[in-house]
Copies of this chain bind each other. A is one copy, B any other.
Amino acid sequence: MNKSRIEAFSDGVIAIIITIMVLELKVPHQADIHTLLPLVPVFLSYVLSFIMIGIYWNNHHHMFHAVSHVRGGVLWANLHLLFWLSLTPFTTAWMGENHIESVPVAVYGFVLMMCGIAYYILARSLIRLEGANSAIAEAFGRDRKGKISVLIYAVAVALAFVSPWIAIACYVGVAMIWLVPDRRVERVLLSARAGHAPEA
Complex: chain B residue closest to A12, CB-CB: B15
Kindly report how many copies of this chain are found in the complex they form together: 4
Given contacts A94-B27, A103-B31, A20 and B20 within 8 Å (CB-CB): yes
CB pair A86 B5 closer than 8 Å:
no
CB pair A75 B101 closer than 8 Å:
no
Q: Is A7 an interface residue (CB 8 A)?
A: yes
Q: Is A19 an interface residue (CB 8 A)?
A: yes
Given contacts A12-B11, A27-B93, A86-B18, A76 and B54 within 8 Å (CB-CB): yes
Secondary structure call for the A interface: helix
Q: Is A116 an interface residue (CB 8 A)?
A: no
CB pair A90 B19 closer than 8 Å:
no
- Count residues of A near B (Cβ-Cβ below 8 Å): 58
CB pair B83 A50 closer than 8 Å:
yes
Q: Is A133 an interface residue (CB 8 A)?
A: no
Q: Is A127 an interface residue (CB 8 A)?
A: no
In the assembled complex, the CB of A114 is this many whole angstroms from the nearest CB of chain B, namely 13
CB pair B7 A86 closer than 8 Å:
no
Contact of A65 among B1, B17, B25, B101 (CB under 8 A): B1
Render A63-96 as a binary contact track against B, CB cut-off 8 A, 1 for contact: 0010000001001100100110011011001100
CB pair B20 A13 closer than 8 Å:
no
- Residues in chain B near residue A14, CB distance under 8 A: 9
- Residues in chain B near residue A179, CB distance under 8 A: 76
19 inter-chain pairs at a CB distance below 8 angstroms, sorted by A residue, are A5-B61, A6-B61, A7-B8, A8-B11, A15-B15, A16-B20, A17-B19, A22-B87, A23-B89, A27-B90, A27-B93, A30-B98, A31-B98, A32-B103, A36-B107, A50-B79, A58-B79, A61-B75, A72-B200
